[in-house]
Every structure is written in C-alpha cells, then in structure tokens.
Chain A
Amino acid sequence: MNPHPFWQLLICRVRETWRTPEAIFWVFIFPLVMIVALGLAFRSDRVETILVDVEQGALSESITASLQSDERFKVTVSPVGEAQRRLRVGKTELVIAASDVTGEYNYTFDPTRPGSLLARNSADDVLQTAAGRKNVVSTSDVEMDEAGSRYIDFLIPGLIGMGLMGGGLWGVGFAVTDMRIRQLLKRYMGTPMKRPHFLAAMMGSRLLFMIPETLFILFIAWLLFGVVSQGSYLLVGLIVIIASLQFGGIGLLVASRAKTVEAVSGLMNLVMVPMWIGSGIFFSPDRFPEIAQPVISLLPLTPVIRSLRMVMLEGAGLLAVAPSLLLIVVWGSLSFTIAIVTFRWD
C-alpha cells in the first residue's frame, strides 16, 4: 500500500525538524529562560524592602531605631551630601533629615517614583506612630495576591503568543525558502506531487510542533510560579491552534517569493519587530498613545495575546473572545490565499 503523499510530506518534515537539535533546543530553552528571568525579576514580594537614608545628626540613631522596628525598612545612615546623591542615582528612595534644633523631620524624595512616594508615606507613618500618634478611625487590610494578578500571569500569554509567531514564521517561512534555495521545490514540481499536499504538510507540521511548545510553556509556568488559566484550557487550545495556522500562513506569505536567506530574514524581521514591540508581549499595549491603537489592535499578534489574556486572566468565554478570533482567522486566510497565488516553486 503506497502511503499518502500528504502523510509522507508531513512525516518527513517532522523528522527533519526533530533531527535539528539546535532548533528544538531554542524552541524550549528560550521561553524557559524568559519565564524564569522575568518571573523572578517581577516577583511580587510579600515583604517589600524600602530603602531609606537617614542623614547623620543628633536624632539619626533614634530615627533609625524607630524605622527598624518595621522589618520592611532598610536604613543607611549617610553624611549630608552623600544621602542626597544616593537619592539622585536611585540607591535610596528617601532621605530623612532631622533638625537638631527643632526636632522637625525633613523628607526628601522623588514624587515621580512610585517607590519613593511609598517610602515617604510609609516612613512618615512609622515615625508618627513611634512619636505617639493615635489612629482616629480604626481600619483593617485585606491583601490581594491571588494567582492571576501577578506579572508572571500577565506575561505567560504574551510568551505563548510570541512563541507561536516565531514558530510560524521561522518554521514555515524559513523552511520553505530553504527548500526553494536547495531547488527542492522545483524538484518536487518534477513529480506528480500535488501542491496543496505540500502546503498542507507544512502547515500541519507547524500545528504538530506548536502543541509541545505551548504545553511546555504552560507546564513550566505552572511548575515554577503556579500559573493557571482562569478560563477553559480548551479555549486556550483553540486560540493557539487558530493562531498557529495564522502565523503559518504569514510565514508562507513572507517566504512566497524569497530566493535568498537574507531576503527572507529581512522580511521576517520587518514583519515581526512591530509585533514584538506593539502587540503587548511584555506590557499592555494600552500604554501606547491613543493614535497608535488602531494599528496595534490590527497587528496579527495583538488579538492572539489579547484573547489568551482574556481567557487565562479573566476567565473569558468563547463569545467574549470571538471578535479577536475572527480577526485572527481573517489574517490567516488572507495571508494564506495571497501566499498561494504569489508562491514561486523555482
């Protein structure tokens, strides 16, 4: 029984990828490093450290003692000019000076730095209390630190989207260009091979590889930081599949006529860089000015990350992400269609 050419093309593509250990290595190592590095850098500490400098003087010892009764404060006693300098270069958040004559405290801080402002208010609070202030209204605190509200939770959908984009563009676009350069596409044209079988196999192999890639990111994020999706994992899977096809289509389009590695690499970067910057992998795209928003929201990666965040962070359902999915489908079909029309086999 002669095996079906689609399966043969797919299997051979999978074998080739699998036998390129460097590629596999980067697909898994890169997100791992990102997750660990960014997850640790933006870890939300339960006990935040507040750096405070106290200027040398008669009261500096008693101020230091008061502050150190609260474990959040890390106090440094510095000479007069030195403390101000440390504030300027960000080595401390707040400088407290006490007048030897009046006993008045003088706070120097940078109100544009959230940390600095926080330090001023916290230190003031502690010092006033130590000096005998009584609270007028009784209050109580509820601290929010659920999984789902941390930076790492925000980051993971971004990294998944970034992986899908890179995988689609490199995995399909670069591979196809390489085959064209090697005259392999032309060689296939010399056989009765059906073109749709070839294209479908390229897309199919992308789908196959996206499964372990995405599962790996989700697993590592869960293992190291307890990241879980608030919404349905099936819906996450659906978004990932559609997005893979979309980026496969874009990869095919980018590579549809390229005849050199340089050409395809250039085009690939041209396509990817705006999305790296604009589509909200590392921070919310809402931070860009109003005028850039229409463009950003139309970039192919934006709806992928947006819908993944809606599902994973807010537990959104299919209906809520439907507009984003539609945009992805449109991008995918459009680029795939144009790619097929313009595709050159030799």
Chain B
Amino acid sequence: MPYAIECEGLKKTYPSSPPVEALRGIDLAVEQGECFGVLGPNGAGKTTTIEILEGLLPPTEGTARVLGKSWDSDAAAIREEIGLTLQETRLSEKLTVLETLTLFRSFYREGLSAEQAMDRVSLGEKADSRLKHLSGGQKQRVAVATALVGNPRLLFLDEPTTGLDPASRRELWGVISDFQATGGTVMLTTHYMDEAERLCDRVAIFDYGKILALDTPRNLIAGLAAEHFVEFSVAGDTLSESFGADLPGVTAVAKEGSVHSLSVEQVHIAIPALLDRIEADGLTLTSLSTRQATLEDVFVSLTGRHLEETAEVSA
C-alpha cells in the first residue's frame, strides 16, 4: 500500500524582498488511515507545507507524492480523491449551507450527497440557513463539509479549530475522528498541543521551516528527561530558582512568577522529599500540584520557547 503522503527535501523560498526561507528541507511519510499532525508556532511553515502537499503551491525544491500519485502528472486524479480546508477561506455568506455543499459536490465525479455531508458535520437542521447567520464554529463545520462532500480518502485541514470556542473545537474533533474511523487519512496543522495530542497518531513538530521531532505524542513525551511536573509555591516567595534541584528524582527546575516547577521521573518519591525539605527549612507551602508532561513541554525542551506564546506574539 503506498503512503498517503510522501515528500522529500521540500524547500520553499518565497520570492518576496527580502526572500523568506519558509521551508528548509521537509521529509515526511504518512501512512494511509493515519491522523498526522503538523504542530508548530505561527510562521513555522505549516501552511506552506500543507499547501505544497495539496498541490496549491509549487515547492522551490523537492518532491511530493499523494496517494501514490505525483502532482506533476496526476493532478486531476488526486484532486478527485482529496478534500481540504484552507487556513482562511470565507465562503459566500449569501448562500445557504445546502447550496454551498451542492456547489462543491458538483465539482466531483463521485461523492456524498450534500445532505450526507451536512449530516457528517451535524448541520442537517441548518441546511437552509445562509452562512452569514451561522456561528464561527458552524461556518468552520461547513468548510469541513465542503472538504468531505467529494468523499475523499485523504483530508487536509489547515488550523481547523483556530479561534473557535472549546465546545466547537470538540465538535470538530468528533467530525475528524469519525472520518478517520471510516478509514480516511487526515493531515492537520495546529498550534494547539492539546489538539495534536488528542487527535493525532503521529505529530511532526515544526519550527522555522524544519521538523524538530516526529513521533507519536506518547513517544515524544516519553522522550523527555522527566514525564511529570511538580509545581508549588511558598509563602513570601523567598526561594531561589534552583531550590529543590538536589532532591531525589528531580531532573530539572524552573520558576515562573512565584511558581516553582520540578521535572521529576517519579512523583511518589519526589513529593515526600520536597515536603520534608520545606518543613525542615521552616517554610509554608501555599500551593502544590502535579501534572503530566505534554507536547507543550516537548516543544519547550526542543526550542526553549512556549508554543502558544510564540503563536500569540506573531499572530
């Protein structure tokens, strides 16, 4: 079985002044049936990558194959078999959901009916509503429905949930999972680590046009020196940043504001030791919590920056 997506040595330099090296050598292979996440801050090259794979943007260098076919020789055939949403498309506000989907359906030789596509995204009762009367989340589901209406084997979604409220995001996650459950392949980009962790079988972490790491979310997290964090603060905020670094099982320390964060391998050894030390030093604990490491921590350990922070800054 050929890969759903395969690319080698993708490079893209935008001929603006000054030229922007958006991609600096991307290699990927996505299995059929996989949900593959492209995770990275704004400007990392996610959109550039996905649009090259969608055949919408020519790479400066490198090759891309989709569903075993090449964009150079089989573009029309590939188009029939993929569905996509762009990062930012404003569909016609004056058309209804049904009209929009009927229009997109007409472009494909085979596919779902417009009604089926609406059901896939649970918008059946909005069939005759014009898009301008829909919420942001509902509009985004219409956009996904336009991607599904050709009954694709491969779905590309560029930041499908950016800017949506939590309920709308969960709803879209459901749509994506359902598509994957029927055997479809998904490639999505996101700068939300929870989305990647939740939805994706494998994740490529992008930064400055390069892949920094590529694996399952579980393996990426397991690759960290420690998988747990103990976070605490004390009355008066009197401690130095390095407090606790010598405790058993602590691999790293950090302090943000008044909150100390210890990276630990085993919580049940580190916490009693921490409590003993605090008591011995005559300190008063004002907060204590533990959490599992996330892809966010993976990104921080790879780049020294936070994913969301960088996203906010350049957004």
Contact = CB atoms under 8 A, between A and B. Distances in A.
Given A182-B89, A187-B89, A192 B99 contact: no
Contact of A15 (B55, B88, B95): B95
A124 interface: no
Interface stretch (A3-11, A31-39, A44-52, A317-325): A3-11
B108 A192 contact: yes
Given A5-B106, A15-B99, A20 B79 contact: no
B107 A192 contact: yes
B99 A5 contact: no
Contacts of B86: 183, 186-187, 190
Interface string A215-253: 000000000000000000000000000000000000000
A186 B90 CA distance: 11
B94 A2 contact: no
A184 B99 contact: no
B99 A4 contact: no
B91 interface: yes
B94 A183 contact: no
A191 B107 contact: yes
A4 B106 contact: yes
B92 A184 contact: yes
Contacts of A193: 107
Interface string B91-110: 11011000100111111110
B90 A182 contact: yes
A346 B103 contact: no
B35 interface: no
A338 interface: no
A146 interface: no
Contacts of A346: 56
Nearest to A198: B107
B6 interface: no
Contacts of B109: 2, 192
Given A8-B102, A12-B95, A15-B94, A184 B107 contact: no
A187 B104 CA distance: 10
B302 to A, nearest CB: 31
A74 B55 CA distance: 79
Interface residues of B, number: 28
A8 B114 CA distance: 13
Contacts of A191: 79, 104, 107-108, 150
A190 B79 contact: yes
Contacts, number: 69
B109 to A, nearest CB: 7
B76 interface: yes
Interface in A169-206: 182-184, 186-193
Nearest to B82: A190
A179 B236 CA distance: 59
A287 interface: no
A133 interface: no
Contact of A16 (B95, B106, B108): B95
Contact of A190 (B54, B76, B105, B106): B54
B80 interface: yes
Nearest to A189: B56
B84 interface: yes
A186 B50 CA distance: 14
Interface string A235-274: 0000000000000000000000000000000000000000
A217 B104 CA distance: 36
B157 to A, nearest CB: 12
Nearest to A17: B94
A20 B90 contact: no
A188 B54 CA distance: 12
Contacts of B102: 3, 8
B108 A8 contact: no
Contacts of A8: 102-103, 106
Contacts of A182: 89-91
Max chain B Cβ within 10 angstroms of own Cβ: one of A12, A20, A191: A191
A134 interface: no
Contacts of B88: 183
Contacts of B99: 12, 15
A8 to B, nearest CB: 4
B48 to A, nearest CB: 13
Contact of A192 (B76, B84, B92, B94): B76
Nearest to B109: A192
Contacts of B80: 192
B203 to A, nearest CB: 24
Contacts of A187: 86, 89, 91, 146
Nearest to B147: A190
B104 A16 contact: no
A280 B95 CA distance: 39
B103 A9 contact: yes
16 contacts: A3-B102, A5-B107, A15-B94, A20-B94, A182-B91, A183-B86, A183-B90, A186-B56, A186-B89, A190-B79, A190-B84, A190-B86, A191-B79, A191-B108, A192-B76, A192-B79
Given A183-B86, A190-B84, A346-B56, 4 more contacts: A5-B106, A183-B89, A184-B91, A193-B107
Interface of B: 54-56, 76, 79-80, 82, 84, 86, 88-92, 94-95, 99, 102-109, 130, 146, 150
Q: Which 5 A-B pairs have the closest CB atoms?
A: A182-B90, A8-B106, A192-B79, A191-B107, A193-B107
